[in-house]
Amino acid sequence: MRLLQAAHNLVLCLGSLAMLLGTLRELARRGASEAPAGPLGRASFLFCERPDAVAVGPLYAWSYLYYLSKYYELLDTVLQLLKGRPPPHFFLHVYHHAVVLFMAWSWCAYCQSLQWGGLLFNTAVHVLMYYYYFRTVLKLPTPWKRLVTQFQIVQFGFSLLCFLVTAALLATGSACAGTGALAFNLAFNVTLLLQFFGVLGKNDARSGGSKKRRE
């Protein structure tokens, strides 16, 4: 079971890296082909997708692959339960995996604005997170657990900042695709941000208690 979990985590780590690099490449290509528009110039599509956009082409292919990868991630829960115990922070684990499926689907279904910022940051987080899990399963030294949670918090904070840019564009009359899906995504990110702050606090309390016992 340990080797199976290690292989699963390594697949997700390398898969996340491939999606990160592939999306960066296609974003650079699209940015180079975009006509400058609005105050953000060629980068406008990153924050405000055209309302007539259609989810086709290599860039949206990465979004769709990201969506499919969320089904594979469900094995996280299955493998952990097969070991005879639920994953740590079980409610957050199940909530995140369940809702993110709908979120990723809505990216493609509604050509949601801001989706590529979320894809880039989330795949970057997953490269670090699944590498951490890979090493943990193999019982290799992993003294940087706190960094993973901190990176996740930064991810959701960054998402909120990007939303403010999109909100400013909408307020000044820009028409952006998938604003309903974006509102749902924003609410989801806020709930995750609050829950990850709770996880960080619990982890700090546990590590503080462990230090006191050692003293």
Give the residue numbers annotated as catalytic, written as ranges: 96
* DSSP string covering 135-169: HHHTT---TTHHHHHHHHHHHHHHHHHHHHHHHHH
* Residue 97 near residue 134 (C-beta atoms within 8 A): no
Structure tokens at 56: 């086709």
* Residue 130 near residue 10 (C-beta atoms within 8 A): yes
Strands annotated E in 81-159: none
Structure tokens at 111: 């050509």
Comparing C-alpha atoms, which of 178, 138, 205, 194 is closest to residue 49?
A: 178
d(CA 112, CA 48): 8
